[in-house]
Amino acid sequence: MTEIQIIINDLSKVYDNGFNALKKVNLNVKQGEILALLGPNGAGKTTLISIICGIVTPSSGTVTVDGFDIIKDYRQTRSRIGMVPQELNLENFETVFDTVSYSRGLYGKSPKPEYIKKILKELSLWDKKDLRLRQLSGGMKRRVLIAKALSHEPKILFLDEPTAGVDVELRQEMWKVVDSLRKTGVTIILTTHYIEEAETIADRVGVINQGEIILVEEKKELLKKMGQKTLTIELQERIEEIPNSLEKYNLNIGDNKMHLNYTYSLKEKQTGITNLLQDLKDAGLKLRDLKTEQSNLEKIFVNLVKENNEI
């Protein structure tokens, strides 16, 4: 059974300016999983991560990491966590090697140059170890931030928008890095705007909006929903009830009674569309138009956020 590593309980944050960034958030993170937190700007993603990492003080609620409280036992929790911040904030005049070694020291670990060498090599930074940070491109700086976050061999890694403003090639490289980290057993929590990112690398997906978690689900479950398509059949005449001969298709009648909706899966060998159309004809229904639509994570996400905002 997978162990729960992070337990977030009724976590709330109200900033000094009155902004309520988190509203009684509850969430468990399993050891070794990759959890993607999706949400629009200002949803509370960064606040949530910042509280767990110790950068922001919660207004109420608790968070435990491996059973340790983030406030009371901050030394235990923080030494387990590495964080890659959203902003590319680095000391411009320091060298790559020095800044990564500095981070390791800050987290209370004795110097281990061979380990720093290993992570710099893995992140293709070794040949740049003596360069000053101001000499690096944005993408390279992002890698340095990851190296800094990994410098103290953390068990949990937070990535706050790791691929924001990063080109496609580098984004895919980042995903490879995350994948190789997963293999070492590191728990990864990442926030992202890119639904594609969540689809590619996450085990679970959480959707956060207006300070509330509105969905947390296994990616597989979401993919199941994503694999579904809907065939909308527009009729020439209104229909009051579905004929008995069409019951096996689980059709439903659209709002204006001029449509029939048929849901099918592309993963099935046969979608049943040919038979349905034949049976529709046999039932004497006249068709006007056909339309198919695929539900994807983006649509689920947009609908969820929209519904949530309307409440």
CB contact set of 92 (below 8 Å; sequence gap of 6+):
132, 133, 134
CB of 301 to other proteins, least distance (A): 28
CB of 189 to other proteins, least distance (A): 14
CB of 269 to other proteins, least distance (A): 52
CB contact set of 155 (below 8 Å; sequence gap of 6+):
5, 66, 80, 81, 185, 186, 187
CB of 89 to other proteins, least distance (A): 3
Torsion over CA: 210, 222, 51, 97 (sign): negative
**Of 57 and 180, CB closest to other proteins:** 57
**Of 130 and 221, CB closest to other proteins:** 130
**Of 111 and 275, CB closest to other proteins:** 111
**Of 14 and 239, CB closest to other proteins:** 14
**What is the contact surface with other proteins in residues (CB under 8 A)?**
15-16, 53-57, 74-79, 81, 83, 85, 87, 89-93, 98, 102-111, 148
CB of 29 to other proteins, least distance (A): 17
CB contact set of 143 (below 8 Å; sequence gap of 6+):
123, 124, 125
**Backbone φ and ψ of 74, nearest 5°:** -60, -30
Tokens of 78: 């923080």
Concatenated DSSP letters of 244-268: GGGGGGT-EE-TTSSEEEEEEETTS
CB contact set of 17 (below 8 Å; sequence gap of 6+):
none
CB of 274 to other proteins, least distance (A): 59
CB of 263 to other proteins, least distance (A): 46
* Helix residue ranges, H only, 93-186: 96-106, 113-122, 138-150, 168-183
Quickly tell me which residue has 């339309």 as its tokens. Answer: 291
**Of 5 and 46, CB closest to other proteins:** 46
Q: How far apart are CA 308 and CA 208, in angstroms?
A: 10
